[in-house]
C-alpha cells in the first residue's frame, strides 16, 4: 500500500512539474557580482541549508546558527572542534585522532541527526555521524536544531539535529570566477592545504573544493602511573573533494548536482591502560546528491532531491590479527510541494524514501532497512503575523525485507509548535513532538553482540522558551532561554565487558534548561562582544527491565549535567580577537554512577586579520587551544593534548 501510494505520488509530482513549467516561471532572482572570499548567496530557491521544513513549518523550535566570522575562524578545522568550543552540545571525542559524536540534551549519539542539504548522512549501520571527519571548509552554513522534530526530519531525531549546508550560490549578471587557496600548520605535525573555486556565467554556477590533511599527533601526556609518554601510532592522513554544478532552466527550475568524496587514514593511539597500539582505521565516503526546485503560479513551490551515499570503515589490529571491512549504502529520495493558502497559511506535503543496507564480515549476510513515509505540515500566521503556529504529522513504515506489508512496522509521529511576538523585543515559543527510533543495523545484527530482540525507542519531546533581543544606544543585547522535557521508553544502550551488547532501558527521563546570551558594544571602529552559553541537563533512568538495577535514578553514561562556553573579545577594523572558555561537567562512564570522569575547563584564543592587496584578499588566522594546559579526558582512558597552536591563511584571487 505504502509503496504503491509512493509510486503514484511521485508520478503525479512529475506530471505536475511538467504542467507548471508552462504556466509559471521559476525564481530567477540574482544578486550583484560580489567578488569576495565569502561565497555569494541568492535570494531564490537555494539558500544554504535553510530547508523550508524547518524555516517555515517549525516556528516554536529553537534554532541556532553559527555566524560567518566563526566559520571563517574554524575554516581549516572539523565540525567537531567548532561545536566543542562554540555550542552547548556535548561532543564525545575519543581523543585527538579519534571518533567524535554528538549528544543533544542528554540524548545518545544515535538519537542525534546530521543532515547535509536536507539529506541524513549518519552511517547506515551505526546510526551516527563522526563529526571529526566533517570539514568546516566545506560548509557555508552550520545550524543546530534543539529538540525532536521527527515529523519533519524523520524518525530517529530525538535529541536534536545538526544542519550542514553548502548549496549557497548565485547566478551573476556578469560572468566571474573566484579562486582561493588555504593552508594551516600547527602543533604535533598538523598540516592542511585547501583550495576552492567558484565560477558563474548566465544560468550556470560551478564550484569545487579540495582539502588535504596530515598530522603526527605525537603529543605528550601522563599514563595511569604518572609516567610521561608520547602518543604513538597516531598519524593521520585525510583528503576530501566536493563539486557542485547548478543550472537554472527556463520553465523547469533550478537543478543542482553535488558530489562529496573523502577518505581518512587514521592510526588509533593506545588508551591509558594499553602499552602499545597497532590499530588502524580507514574511513571512506562518497555522497552524491541531486536537487530540483521550482516555483509555479508565483506562490507555490515544488521540489525533489535524490541522494546516494556509500560509507566504508576498514579496521585492523595487527596485535589480534583482526581485519574487518564494513560497507554501508544509503539511498534517499524525497519529493514535496508547498502551497500558499490565502494570505496567512501554507501547506506542505512531502514523501521521503530511505533504503539502507550493510555488507561486511561483522554481520551474517547482507542486512537491509527500508523506510517510506507520508508527511504533511500546515503553518498559519495570525494577529498581524505576531502569532505563528504549525502542526505536522508523519506516517512512516519501516521493514527489513523489501516493502512487505505483513512485516512492516508503522507508526504515527504528530507534532505542533508555535511562536508569539509579545513585543518588538520579546517573543515566546513552544514545541511538542512525538519521537520514534528503530534500532540501527549494527544494534540488531552486529556479530558478535547484536541484539535482534531490541524494541524501538519511542516517547515525547516538549520544550518552551523565550527570546529577548533589543538595541539600546551602542548596545545590542540578545538573551534566549529554553526549558525542555523528554520521556523515552525502551531507550537503547550498549553494555558489557569483552563483548558489548545493546539492551533496552524501560524509561529514561531527560529535562533541563539552556541559555544563550550575547552583548555587543560598538564605538567608532571598535566592536566589543561577550557571549555566554549554558546547559543544565538531567538524563536519568526512571525504570529498568532488570530487577534491582543500580542505574535507576542515575544519570545516563556520558551525559554531562553541566556544559557551557564563554566568548569575549573585540573587532577593530579588520582585526578580530576572541577568548573562548569551555566547561564540561562530570561524565559518568557506567550506568550506576560508580565511575566518573572529573569536570574540565579549556581556554582557547582565536585571532583573525583580513586585508587586501590589489585584487587579492588575504585572511590570516591563529589559534591557541587549551592555553592553560588542562589535563583531561573526554572519554575514559583517551587523553587529550595540552597547549597547542594552529595558524592558517586564505588568499583569494579575483
The pLDDT tens digits of the residues spanning 82-116 come to 999 999 899 999 887 889 999 999 999 999 999 99
Q: If pLDDT is split at 50, 70 and 90, which confidence band does 361 have?
A: low
Helix (H) or strand (E) holding 418: strand 409-421
The pLDDT tens digits of the residues spanning 400-442 come to 654 444 567 889 999 999 999 999 999 999 999 999 999 998 8
Residue 24, pLDDT above cutoff 60: no
Residue 51, pLDDT above cutoff 70: no
**Distance (Å, whole) CA 79 – CA 474:** 33
Q: If pLDDT is split at 50, 70 and 90, which confidence band does 319 have?
A: confident
The pLDDT tens digits of the residues spanning 467-523 come to 999 999 999 999 999 999 999 999 999 887 778 899 999 999 999 999 999 999 999
The answer to whether the beta carbons of residues 100 and 94 sit under 8 Å apart is yes
Q: If pLDDT is split at 50, 70 and 90, which confidence band does 364 have?
A: low
Among 128, 184, 190, 186, which Cα is nearest to 161's? 128
pLDDT at 290: 96
pLDDT at 611: 93
Residue 210, pLDDT above cutoff 90: yes
Backbone angle region of 405, left / alpha / beta, with phi > 0 → left and psi within -120 to 50 → alpha: alpha
466 versus 23: which is more confidently predicted?
A: 466
Among 377, 407, 404, which Cα is nearest to 391's? 377
pLDDT at 30: 33
364 versus 628: which is more confidently predicted?
A: 628
Q: If pLDDT is split at 50, 70 and 90, which confidence band does 554 have?
A: very high
pLDDT at 52: 67
Spans of all domains in the chain:
2-406+420-653
What average pLDDT does range 295-321 have in this prediction? 90
The pLDDT tens digits of the residues spanning 620-648 come to 999 999 999 999 999 999 999 999 999 99
Q: If pLDDT is split at 50, 70 and 90, which confidence band does 18 have?
A: very low
Q: Which range, 65-69, 274-278, 297-301, 528-532, is most confident?
A: 528-532
CA distance between the termini of the chain: 55
Upper half-sphere CA count for residue 233 (Cβ side, 13 Å):
17
**Distance (Å, whole) CA 24 – CA 517:** 45
The domain defined by 2-406+420-653 folds into Maltoporin; Chain A (2.40.170)
Q: What is the DSSP pairing of strand 141-146 with strand 63-65? A: antiparallel
Q: If pLDDT is split at 50, 70 and 90, which confidence band does 6 have?
A: very low
**Distance (Å, whole) CA 212 – CA 137:** 11
pLDDT at 653: 80
What average pLDDT does range 527-544 have in this prediction? 96
Q: What is the mean pLDDT of the chain?
A: 87
Q: If pLDDT is split at 50, 70 and 90, which confidence band does 457 have?
A: very high
What average pLDDT does range 605-616 have in this prediction? 91
**Distance (Å, whole) CA 235 – CA 188:** 10
pLDDT at 638: 92
Residue 310, pLDDT above cutoff 50: yes
Helix (H) or strand (E) holding 530: strand 526-543
Among 66, 53, 55, 153, which Cα is nearest to 111's? 153
What average pLDDT does range 229-241 have in this prediction? 93
Sign of the dihedral defined by the CA atoms of residues 502, 503, 507, 509, in that order: negative
Residue 48, pLDDT above cutoff 50: no
- Please tell me the least confidently modeled range out of 133-147, 191-205, 363-377: 363-377
**Distance (Å, whole) CA 204 – CA 199:** 8
What is the four-CA torsion angle of 500, 501, 502, 504, rounded to 10 degrees? -120
pLDDT at 226: 81
Alpha helices in 403-464 (DSSP H): 441-445
Q: CB-based contacts of 121: which residues, under 8 Å, 6+ apart? A: 114, 115, 129, 287, 309
The pLDDT tens digits of the residues spanning 237-266 come to 999 999 999 999 888 888 999 999 999 999
Residue 532, pLDDT above cutoff 80: yes
The answer to whether the beta carbons of residues 61 and 335 sit under 8 Å apart is no
Backbone angle region of 158, left / alpha / beta, with phi > 0 → left and psi within -120 to 50 → alpha: alpha
Amino acid at each position: 500500500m505504502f509503496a504503491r501510494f509512493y509510486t503514484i505520488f511521485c508520478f503525479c509530482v512529475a506530471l505536475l512539474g511538467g504542467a507548471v513549467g508552462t504556466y509559471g516561471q521559476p525564481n530567477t532572482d540574482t544578486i550583484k557580482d560580489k567578488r569576495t572570499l565569502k561565497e555569494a548567496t541568492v535570494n531564490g530557491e537555494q539558500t544554504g541549508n535553510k530547508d523550508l521544513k524547518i524555516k517555515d513549518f517549525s516556528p516554536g523550535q529553537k534554532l541556532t546558527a553559527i555566524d560567518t566570522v566563526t566559520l571563517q575562524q574554524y575554516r581549516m578545522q572539523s565540525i567537531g572542534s567548532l561545536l566543542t568550543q562554540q555550542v552547548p552540545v556535548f561532543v564525545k571525542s575519543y581523543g585527538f585522532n579519534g571518533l567524535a559524536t554528538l549528544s543533544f540534551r542528554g540524548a545518545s549519539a544515535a538519537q542525534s541527526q546530521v543532515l547535509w542539504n536536507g539529506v541524513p548522512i549518519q552511517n547506515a549501520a551505526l546510526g551516527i555521524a563522526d563529526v571529526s571527519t566533517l570539514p568546516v571548509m566545506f560548509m557555508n552554513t552550520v545550524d543546530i536544531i534543539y529538540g525532536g522534530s521527527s515529523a519533519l526530519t524523520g524518525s530517529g531525531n530525538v535529541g536534536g539535529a545538526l544542519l550542514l549546508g553548502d548549496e549557497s550560490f548565485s547566478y551573476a549578471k556578469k560572468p566571474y570566477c573566484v579562486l582561493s587557496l588555504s593552508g594551516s600548520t600547527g602543533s604535533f605535525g598538523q598540516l592542511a592545504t585547501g583550495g576552492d573555486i567558484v565560477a558563474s556565467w548566465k544560468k550556470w554556477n560551478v564550484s569545487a573544493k579540495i582539502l588535504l590533511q596530515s598530522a603526527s599527533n605525537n603529543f605528550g601526556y601522563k599514563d595511569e602511573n604518572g609516567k610521561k609518554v608520547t602518543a604513538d601510532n597516531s598519524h593521520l592522513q585525510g583528503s576530501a573533494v566536493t563539486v557542485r554544478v547548478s543550472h537554472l532552466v527556463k520553465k523547469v527550475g533550478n537543478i543542482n548536482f553535488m558530489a562529496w568524496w573523502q577518505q581518512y587514514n587514521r592510526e588509533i593511539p593506545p588508551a591509558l591502560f594499553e602499552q602499545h597500539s597497532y590499530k588502524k582505521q580507514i574511513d571512506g565516503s562518497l555522497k552524491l546528491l541531486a536537487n530540483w526546485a521550482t516555483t509555479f503560479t508565483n506562490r507555490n513551490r515544488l521540489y525533489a532531491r535524490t541522494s546516494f551515499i556509500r560509507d566504508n570503515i576498514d579496521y585492523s589490529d595487527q596485535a589480534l590479527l583482526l581485519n574487518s571491512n564494513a560497507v554501508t549504502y544509503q539511498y534517499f529520495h524525497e519529493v514535496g510541494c508547498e502551497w500558499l493558502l490565502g494570505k496567512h497559511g501554507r501547506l506542505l506535503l512531502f514523501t521521503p524514501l530511505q533504503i539502507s543496507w550493510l555488507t561486511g564480515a561483522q554481520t551474517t549476510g547482507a542486512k537491509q532497512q527500508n523506510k517510506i513515509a507520508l508527511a504533511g505540515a500546515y503553518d498559519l500566521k495570525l494577529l498581524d503575523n505576531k502569532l505563528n503556529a504549525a502542526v505536522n504529522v508523519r506516517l512512516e513504515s519501516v521493514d527489513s525485507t523489501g516493502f512487505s506489508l505483513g512485516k512492516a512496522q508503522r507508526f504515527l509521529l504528530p507534532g505542533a509548535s508555535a511562536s508569539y511576538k509579545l513585543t518588538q523585543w520579546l517573543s515566546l515559543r513552544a514545541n511538542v513532538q512525538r519521537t520514534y527510533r528503530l534500532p540501527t543495523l549494527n544494534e540488531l545484527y552486529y556479530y558478535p553482540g547484536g541484539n535482534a530482540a531490541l524494541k524501538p525507542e519511542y516517547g515525547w519531546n516538549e520544550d518552551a522558551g523565550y527570546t529577548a533581543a533589543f538595541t539600546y544606544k551602542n548596545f545590542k543585547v540578545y538573551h534566549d532561554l529554553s526549558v525542555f522535557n523528554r520521556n523515552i521508553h525502551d531507550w537503547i544502550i550498549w553494555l558489557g565487558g569483552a563483548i558489548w551488547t545493546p539492551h533496552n532501558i524501560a524509561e529514561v527521563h531527560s529535562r533541563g534548561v539552556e541559555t544563550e546570551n550575547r552583548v555587543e558594544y560598538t564605538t567608532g571602529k571598535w566592536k566589543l562582544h561577550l557571549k555566554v552559553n549554558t546547559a543544565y541537563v538531567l538524563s536519568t533512568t526512571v525504570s529498568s527491565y532488570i530487577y534491582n538495577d543500580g542505574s535507576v535514578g542515575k544519570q545516563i553514561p556520558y551525559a554531562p549535567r553541566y556544559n557551557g562556553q564563554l566568548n569575549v573579545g573585540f573587532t577593530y577594523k579588520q582585526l578580530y580577537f576572541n577568548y573562548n572558555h569551555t566547561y564540561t561537567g562530570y561524565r559518568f562512564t557506567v550506568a550506576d554512577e560508580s565511575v566518573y570522569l572529573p569536570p574540565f575547563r579549556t581556554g582557547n584564543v582565536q585571532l583573525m586579520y583580513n586585508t587586501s592587496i590589489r585584487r587579492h584578499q588575504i585572511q590570516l588566522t591563529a589559534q591557541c587551544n587549551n592555553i592553560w594546559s588542562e589535563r583531561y579526558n573526554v572519554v575514559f582512558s583517551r587523553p587529550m593534548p595540552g597547549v597547542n597552536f594552529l595558524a592558517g591563511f586564505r588568499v583569494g584571487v579575483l
